[in-house]
Amino acid sequence: MKTHQKHLSTLFAIAALLGGTSQGFAATIAPSLGTASNFVVLGGAGVTCTASAVSGDVGSLVTVTGFPTPAPALCTLVGTVHSVDAAATTAFADFAVAYDALAAMPCDAANNLTGQALAGKTLAPGVYCFPSTTANLTAGTLTLDAGGDANAVWVIQVGTAITTGSASVAMINGGQQQNVFWQLGTAATIGTDTAFTGNILAGSAITFTGANATLVGRALAKTAVTMTGATLSQGSSVVVVPSPVCK
């Protein structure tokens, strides 16, 4: 019995060191975005901006329009445009690796949200999924509760697309927007008056369609990112998984 208790104590101690509770071994660990983390907007086939404000770097493997260079300024930018350069190419490759890793993460049956509205839900850290359907976040708030753990991670896998409107994603009890990942099979349409949070990794496009749409996180798409009347920023950087302290 003493040996058994000693083994349990050791397991709990290791879990605590990893920043979790007694369930630390089941904690979600997000893949690295690599150099894609340097970008707030990244579109493989293009980025188009109108009447929007962006804080952070913007890149594409093809064209970027709407910023001071290479096109006339239609949007404000605090950052650098990377159009068809090495930085954009490397970041896109890193984004593709992270996208595949997120898509491959297992989702427990209990976290299958098929047919459920996101608005009004409060989600603890973990992997959630809509395996073969769309997800909707309209007219309400999705709350992500970190439970006091600043390193808590959320992964929301959507088989196809997500559409939002007059909605928000709120983080409470120490949650960090950098640790929220939306992995979409196809597209994201972020509508008017939406306050969205997290890293959007889309299999096709990301479109910000109306006034007062905001994103704190990143918009990374395999095809295009289009912004109209939106405000985008990365927010503060955090470390997802702390390193053990060796003495």
Q: Count how many domains the chain has.
A: 2
Q: Is the pLDDT of residue 77 over 90?
A: yes
112, part of any domain = yes
Range of the domain at 62: 31-233
Do 175 and 61 have their domain in common?
yes
Do residues 67 and 16 share a domain? no
The answer, yes or no, to whether residue 3 has pLDDT greater than 60, is: no
Residue 244 maps to a domain: no
Q: What is the pLDDT of residue 90?
A: 98
Q: How many residues are recorded in the chain? A: 247
Q: Is residue 245 part of a domain?
A: no
Q: Residue 140: pLDDT band by 50, 70, 90 thresholds?
A: very high
- For residue 89, being part of any structural domain is answered with yes
Choose among 116, 151, 139, 112: nearest CA to 128.
112
Q: How far is residue 112 from each of residues 89, 106, 130, 145, 159, measured CA to CA in Å?
A: 34, 11, 6, 18, 11
Residue 235: band (very low, low, confident or very high) from pLDDT cuts 50, 70, 90: confident
Q: In terms of domains, do 36 and 50 share one?
A: yes
Peptide bond connecting 70 to the previous residue in cis, omega within 30 degrees of 0: yes
- How many helices and strands, by DSSP H and E, does the chain display? 2, 21
Q: What is the pLDDT of residues 107-136, one digit of tens each?
A: 999 999 999 999 999 999 999 999 999 999
Same domain, 134 and 207: yes
Could you report the per-residue pLDDT of 12-46, keeping only the tens digit for each?
A: 333 333 333 333 335 899 899 999 999 999 999 99
Segment among 35-44, 68-77, 220-229 with least mean pLDDT:
68-77
Side chain identity, residue 162 = I
Interatomic CA distance for residues 102 and 160, integer angstroms: 14
Question: Tokens 């405000």 label which residue?
Answer: 231
Phi, psi of 118 (to 5 degrees): -75, -35
